[in-house]
Amino acid sequence: MPKAKPHPNQLPFDFVAPAPAKGVAELAGLERQINALVGTVLASDGRPREVIAAEMSVLLDDTVSKAMLDAYSSPARPDHKVPASRLLALLVVTDRQDLLDPIMRKIGAALLVGEEVKTARMGHLQQMIRQAQAEMRALGVDAPTIREGND
């Protein structure tokens, strides 16, 4: 299977370890940021909102309407909170999971999308190899030779 091309507006991954927001009011305004995220997702997809809403409805087995998407994306309607299930469904049907990363970093997490997990696993395996090699070097300093059979 050919490698999927990144979305033309895909955000780059930041390799700085995120720290969770723990200070006073550090997560204040998060709902407005999520509304803006929904607006960005919808603006980056060329399909009509009715089509996106229909795909979300199928995915969730629940009714999502164009009017709901309009409300979720409006900064003027901060009282219209986006349920997590609908935000995630929107990201899946628009293939814009990458846009969730900045929100995740606010809680000290980072997001890998799809096959990027393999790259992270490779890094983990490389770290394990380095640790095993370091242990072998330390053992080799005073490890005796194993007895050889006397014929």
SS3 per-residue string spanning the chain: CCCCCCCCCCCCCCCCCCCCCCCCCCCCCHHHHHHHHHHHHHHHCCCCHHHHHHHHHHHHCCCCCHHHHHHHHCCCCCCCCCCHHHHHHHHHHHCCHHHHHHHHHCCCCCCCCCCHHHHHHHHHHHHHHHHHHHHHHHHHCCCCCCCCCCC
Q: Is the pTM of this model over 0.85?
A: no
Q: What is the pLDDT of residues 91-101, one digit of tens each?
A: 999 999 999 99
**Phi and psi (nearest 5°) for 139?**
-70, -35
Domain parsing of the chain, residue ranges: 30-111, 112-145
At residue 11, the pLDDT reads: 55
Q: Which two tokens stand for residue 19?
A: 């720290």
Q: How confident is the model at residue 2 (pLDDT cuts 50, 70, 90)?
A: very low
Q: What is the pLDDT of residues 20-75, one digit of tens each?
A: 889 898 888 888 999 999 999 999 999 999 999 999 999 999 999 999 999 999 88
